A and B are shown apart, each in its own frame.
Chain A
Amino acid sequence: MRALIAGEIGGVALAAAVGWLVLLARWLRGRPAAGSWLAGLRHVPRRYLVDVHHVVARRPVAARMHALAAGGVLGGSVLALAAAVSGLGWSVWALVALAFGVGGMGALLAWRRRVPGTPPALSGGAFLWLPAALAAWCVGNGLAALFMAVGAPMTAIVGAVVLGGAGGVALLRLVELGPMRHALAGVAWLAGHTRPGRFAGDGRDTGLRPLDLAAARLGVLVPADFPGPVLASFDACIQCGRCEEACPAFAAGQRLNPKALIQILSGAMRVVPPPYAGRPAPMAPVLLGTGGMAQPIVGNVLHPDTLWACTTCRACVEECPMLIEHVDAVVSLRRGQTLMLGQVRDGAARVLEASRARAEPGGRDLAARGDALATLDVPVLAPGGETDILLWLGEGAFDARYGRTLRALVALMRRAGLRFATLGADEVDCGDLARRLGDEAGFQSLAAEAIAALKTRRFAKIVTADPHALHVLRNEYPALGGIWRVQHHTGLLDELVRDGRLRLERREGVRVAYHDPCYLGRYNGEIDAPRRLLDASCAGRVEMERHGMRAMCCGGGGGGPASDVDAVTRIPDLRMAQARAVGAGMVAVACPGCTAMLEGVTGPRPDVRDVAELVLAAVVA
């Protein structure tokens, strides 16, 4: 009897191992992993139990289901195999039965997820069979263990093993169809995760990696251009739909659904992919191309609009329990389209050309960048010069509206007695837009020029009011040799208030909701300083439902406005509605992009003010 149980469970385990090797063979046809993929296996338990669970646990019902199902199935199976092989006594069999009982509870909760109706973000199809397969495996093997413990007749045990075996076969089939694939692919992905920084230090690793511009293939055109672990990450998607619920482009009806995108990329590796039973990207025409490791992705199985709709806000990455890097995948594909084929949207082509010819995506004269500050007489730091703070003005300085913010910031810095200067006409664009649009060559050339200009000046730190510039200067220039201390203006003002160099008096007024810029919050984890400043300057700060690390994008990032992808509604309109919903009469912002996008909302709406403007209005000394 023990041999029968060992054979059944061992057989299914062996088949799963073979299935894993088949998947691995496909992933290995991608580019080699950066480090040793195999050595990464030692990190898997911790990454799985701590980091994955941390995200899963944000939804307690799902976490309970997964803990019971995964714990019961894994624990029961391992124990049962041990009991069957070693011939331990009835107490161990009772323990096995208990573990499978727990797994059975998990199966029940998994069934409850889609009954009475499947929530829109969850996939149907093969997923509807998952609870039954789990239940058969747990109930069959659990009963077999129970019968072993109490010494039931042989026919009963054989019957139970047959039920368990049927469940096992069903689970194996569900590996092929997708629902159970996440368990096998997840191990490979967690072992070879392309952003190990997410599991160390402050847990943030958001900068894009530089591309070797001498490589034969730049970016990704076919699945084999992705690194192996990234291919595993696509297969690891469990289609929980948390990304699509968070995606601003999806909400606005653009042709992007991050979940469908990952499923398309997973399917792109296969000639006959398993059917996808989740929501597609809104209004995206179905592309009927045939997949394969060497088949083009964009235009064949993936609609180009899907790529250009992404605002790179990382909301999907923040929500993904499998820690998949959607934005990296999008940027890799954009690099392939931009650098290898020149296939970008018309508006994006114009800003990229201006970035090349004029070092400024808007095509304006670099000498005009400081015009917004003309009346304030901000010193320009000449090569060889020295100052305390280098004020990086950024792309927003050309905008008359954002000029008000910069003037408020300069007024506050003056009031605090700081010594600062700008680069004047030597400030080129930081390259953020070019990089997000996939033009890595344009980015690297702008970055090299910016770094060279900064290196000829001496200063203690760089301060900027543009979170995009902040991210690029702080997190992406170090890989190219530019290492400076970079601070956002809200961080600087917060320091000045804390040190008593600026005294604020709270002003009564309308309710103020703070809109977190993605590149300050999710990309850099800075969500507290602006809130402290607002609490000190305005009475009645309120939080929108989506705020902090889970805030919703304004729609202005990643070259979205330049690419101008068709939509049903505008992302900033959605965000403004969220501000209205909490009764905000004013939206506080901290980014030129957010300012422009939210001010572009038509009709009666809350006012839009930068944190610096609100602080200036409240300053008393």
Chain B
Amino acid sequence: MRSVVLLSGGIDPVSGRPAPPAGEIAAIGLALSVGGAVGGLHAGAPVPALRQAAGHGLEQVDCLQGGGDAVAVLAEALFAAPPDLVLAGRQARGGEDSGMLPYLLAERLDWPLLSGVVAIGATAEGWLAVTIGLAQGARRPAQIRLPCILCAHDAAPAPPFVFDRARRAVLRVVPVTGEEGPGMVAVEGTERPYRARPRLIGTASGGGGTVLEHPDPAEAARVLRDHLRALGMLAPPREGAADA
């Protein structure tokens, strides 16, 4: 299986220094977990953050230099030599990256896309098993048809940074002549100051809660047991067992 990891050449949101976004490092980790050939792909000139990203496990990063619309340039490169799997981060981190890019690319290539992937499983008959990370640590298995685009969850295991790999990585410049994209779309709107909003507290499983005040122990135990059963963490009651 051949995987390509999309690298944005990120900026650290706190320091403003070049640094690969956590999601892209996680994407590299997912690509490595699949095995096979893994390469990096970047629309733009080689920047220091790419070498840092490569330190997490890429031998080569192709830099599509020559301008034009990033989506078009990437789509053309991917169309010319289609990989089985394209991986990307999930969220822009303040550099020249965009959380929309994987979606636009998927639309252009007409490939399926899944976001928030924390683990990749086996392939079977052109379908890839993945695990999606949900809020509060919940996990959901899913299947996706290959080739596809996966956006890595930030919490997917990150491969370690190895300076030796970073210094050896090849940043290959690929000259491209991309069509000019739609450019910056001016968005109409007004900027308002931040307004504190109440936090919405929910659970991944969607269950509410029951508050018992000074319950008697048997009552408390029964409510707890029913709650755990409702969550599926306890087996349902056996036939004929005394439920008390």
Interface residues of A (CB under 8 A from B): 213, 218, 338-344, 349, 352-353, 356-360, 363-366, 439, 441-442
Q: A441 CA to B164 CA in the complex, in Å?
A: 10
> What distance in Å separates the Cβ of A331 from its nearest Cβ neighbour in chain B?
15
Given known A356-B52, A357-B12, A358-B12, contact A218–B17 (CB-CB < 8 A): no
- Which of A213, A353, A439 has the most chain B CB atoms inside 10 A of its CB? A353
Given known A213-B167, A356-B52, contact A349–B160 (CB-CB < 8 A): yes
Given known A356-B19, A356-B52, A357-B19, contact A363–B14 (CB-CB < 8 A): yes
Inter-chain contact A339/B162, CB cutoff 8 Å: yes
Inter-chain contact A352/B161, CB cutoff 8 Å: yes
Docked complex: B159-190 residues within 8 A CB-CB of A: 159-165, 167
> What distance in Å separates the Cβ of A52 from its nearest Cβ neighbour in chain B?
38
Set of chain A residues within 8 Å of B17, measured between Cβ atoms = 357-359
Q: A353 CA to B53 CA in the complex, in Å?
A: 11
Docked complex: B14-65 residues within 8 A CB-CB of A: 14-15, 17, 19, 52, 55
Set of chain B residues within 8 Å of A356, measured between Cβ atoms = 19, 52, 161
Not counting A358-B19, A366-B15, a sample of 20 additional A-B residue pairs whose C-beta atoms are within 8 angstroms of each other reads: A213-B163, A213-B167, A218-B163, A342-B55, A342-B160, A342-B161, A342-B163, A349-B160, A356-B52, A356-B161, A358-B12, A358-B14, A358-B15, A358-B17, A359-B15, A360-B15, A363-B14, A364-B14, A365-B14, A441-B167
Q: A275 CA to B29 CA in the complex, in Å?
A: 42
> What distance in Å separates the Cβ of B163 from its nearest Cβ neighbour in chain A?
4
Q: In the complex, which residue of chain B has the Cβ closest to the Cβ of A360?
A: B15
Inter-chain contact B163/A339, CB cutoff 8 Å: yes
Q: A359 CA to B15 CA in the complex, in Å?
A: 8
Closest 5 CB pairs of A and B: A342-B160, A357-B19, A342-B162, A358-B15, A357-B12
Inter-chain contact A341/B162, CB cutoff 8 Å: yes
Set of chain A residues within 8 Å of B160, measured between Cβ atoms = 342-344, 349
> What distance in Å separates the Cβ of A439 from its nearest Cβ neighbour in chain B?
7
Q: List 27 A-B contacts (CB under 8 A).
A: A213-B167, A218-B163, A218-B164, A339-B162, A339-B163, A340-B163, A340-B164, A341-B164, A342-B159, A342-B165, A343-B160, A349-B161, A352-B161, A356-B19, A356-B52, A356-B161, A357-B15, A357-B19, A358-B14, A358-B17, A359-B17, A360-B15, A364-B14, A365-B14, A365-B15, A439-B163, A441-B163
Q: Dominant SS at the A interface?
A: helix
Q: A341 CA to B164 CA in the complex, in Å?
A: 8
Q: A378 CA to B22 CA in the complex, in Å?
A: 36
> What distance in Å separates the Cβ of B134 from its nearest Cβ neighbour in chain A?
24
> What distance in Å separates the Cβ of A427 from its nearest Cβ neighbour in chain B?
13
Interface size class, chain B: 10 to 19
Set of chain A residues within 8 Å of B15, measured between Cβ atoms = 357-360, 365-366
Give the contacting residue for A353; candidates B161, B162, B164; CB below 8 A: B161
Set of chain A residues within 8 Å of B162, measured between Cβ atoms = 339-342
Set of chain B residues within 8 Å of A218, measured between Cβ atoms = 163-164
Set of chain B residues within 8 Å of A363, measured between Cβ atoms = 14
Q: A342 CA to B17 CA in the complex, in Å?
A: 22
Compute the total of residue contacts between A and B using a CB distance below 8 Å. Answer: 50
Inter-chain contact A339/B164, CB cutoff 8 Å: yes
Q: A353 CA to B165 CA in the complex, in Å?
A: 15
> What distance in Å separates the Cβ of A342 from its nearest Cβ neighbour in chain B?
3
Q: A349 CA to B159 CA in the complex, in Å?
A: 10
Set of chain B residues within 8 Å of A338, measured between Cβ atoms = 163
> What distance in Å separates the Cβ of A476 from its nearest Cβ neighbour in chain B?
19
Q: A344 CA to B159 CA in the complex, in Å?
A: 12
Set of chain B residues within 8 Å of A341, measured between Cβ atoms = 162, 164
> What distance in Å separates the Cβ of A8 from its nearest Cβ neighbour in chain B?
55
Q: In the complex, which residue of chain B has the Cβ closest to the Cβ of A339?
A: B163
Task: Annotate B183-225 by CB proximity to A: 1 below 8 A, 0 otherwise.
Answer: 0000000000000000000000000000000000000000000
Set of chain A residues within 8 Å of B167, measured between Cβ atoms = 213, 441
Q: In the complex, which residue of chain B has the Cβ closest to the Cβ of A442?
A: B163
Q: A360 CA to B55 CA in the complex, in Å?
A: 20
> What distance in Å separates the Cβ of A433 from its nearest Cβ neighbour in chain B?
15
Q: In the complex, which residue of chain B has the Cβ closest to the Cβ of A364?
A: B14
Q: A366 CA to B16 CA in the complex, in Å?
A: 11
Task: Annotate B79-110 by CB proximity to A: 1 below 8 A, 0 otherwise.
Answer: 00000000000000000000000000000000
Q: In the complex, which residue of chain A has the Cβ closest to the Cβ of B19?
A: A357
Q: A343 CA to B162 CA in the complex, in Å?
A: 8
Q: A344 CA to B161 CA in the complex, in Å?
A: 10
Set of chain A residues within 8 Å of B164, measured between Cβ atoms = 218, 339-341
Q: In the complex, which residue of chain A has the Cβ closest to the Cβ of B166?
A: A441
Set of chain B residues within 8 Å of A342, measured between Cβ atoms = 55, 159-163, 165
Task: Annotate B122-164 by CB proximity to A: 1 below 8 A, 0 otherwise.
Answer: 0000000000000000000000000000000000000111111
Q: A10 CA to B55 CA in the complex, in Å?
A: 59
Q: A364 CA to B19 CA in the complex, in Å?
A: 15
Set of chain B residues within 8 Å of A344, measured between Cβ atoms = 160
> What distance in Å separates the Cβ of A338 from its nearest Cβ neighbour in chain B?
7
Q: A352 CA to B161 CA in the complex, in Å?
A: 9
Q: In the complex, which residue of chain B has the Cβ closest to the Cβ of A441?
A: B163
> What distance in Å separates the Cβ of B127 from its nearest Cβ neighbour in chain A?
33
Q: A340 CA to B55 CA in the complex, in Å?
A: 10
Q: A434 CA to B204 CA in the complex, in Å?
A: 39
> What distance in Å separates the Cβ of A429 from its nearest Cβ neighbour in chain B?
11
- Which of B14, B15, B52, B165 has the most chain A CB atoms inside 10 A of its CB? B15
> What distance in Å separates the Cβ of B155 from its nearest Cβ neighbour in chain A?
14
Set of chain A residues within 8 Å of B19, measured between Cβ atoms = 356-358
> What distance in Å separates the Cβ of A146 from its nearest Cβ neighbour in chain B?
65
> What distance in Å separates the Cβ of A487 from its nearest Cβ neighbour in chain B?
29
Q: A342 CA to B55 CA in the complex, in Å?
A: 9
Q: In the complex, which residue of chain B has the Cβ closest to the Cβ of A340?
A: B164
> What distance in Å separates the Cβ of A390 from its nearest Cβ neighbour in chain B?
22
> What distance in Å separates the Cβ of A442 from its nearest Cβ neighbour in chain B?
8
- Which of B19, B161, B162 has the most chain A CB atoms inside 10 A of its CB? B161
Q: In the complex, which residue of chain B has the Cβ closest to the Cβ of A425?
A: B15
> What distance in Å separates the Cβ of B105 from its nearest Cβ neighbour in chain A?
26
Set of chain B residues within 8 Å of A213, measured between Cβ atoms = 163, 167
Q: A340 CA to B163 CA in the complex, in Å?
A: 7
Set of chain B residues within 8 Å of A353, measured between Cβ atoms = 161
> What distance in Å separates the Cβ of A510 from its nearest Cβ neighbour in chain B?
42
Q: A357 CA to B14 CA in the complex, in Å?
A: 9
Q: A353 CA to B159 CA in the complex, in Å?
A: 12
Q: A352 CA to B90 CA in the complex, in Å?
A: 24
> What distance in Å separates the Cβ of A299 from its nearest Cβ neighbour in chain B?
15
- Which of B55, B164, B167 has the most chain A CB atoms inside 10 A of its CB? B164
Set of chain B residues within 8 Å of A339, measured between Cβ atoms = 162-164
Q: In the complex, which residue of chain A has the Cβ closest to the Cβ of B56?
A: A342
Q: In the complex, which residue of chain A has the Cβ closest to the Cβ of B20?
A: A357
Q: A349 CA to B164 CA in the complex, in Å?
A: 15
Q: A63 CA to B12 CA in the complex, in Å?
A: 58
Q: A352 CA to B165 CA in the complex, in Å?
A: 16
Set of chain B residues within 8 Å of A359, measured between Cβ atoms = 15, 17
Q: A358 CA to B160 CA in the complex, in Å?
A: 17
Q: A364 CA to B14 CA in the complex, in Å?
A: 7
Q: A358 CA to B19 CA in the complex, in Å?
A: 9
Set of chain A residues within 8 Å of B14, measured between Cβ atoms = 358, 363-365
Q: In the complex, which residue of chain B has the Cβ closest to the Cβ of A344?
A: B160
Set of chain B residues within 8 Å of A358, measured between Cβ atoms = 12, 14-15, 17, 19
Q: A365 CA to B16 CA in the complex, in Å?
A: 10
Q: In the complex, which residue of chain B has the Cβ closest to the Cβ of A353?
A: B161
Q: A358 CA to B94 CA in the complex, in Å?
A: 14
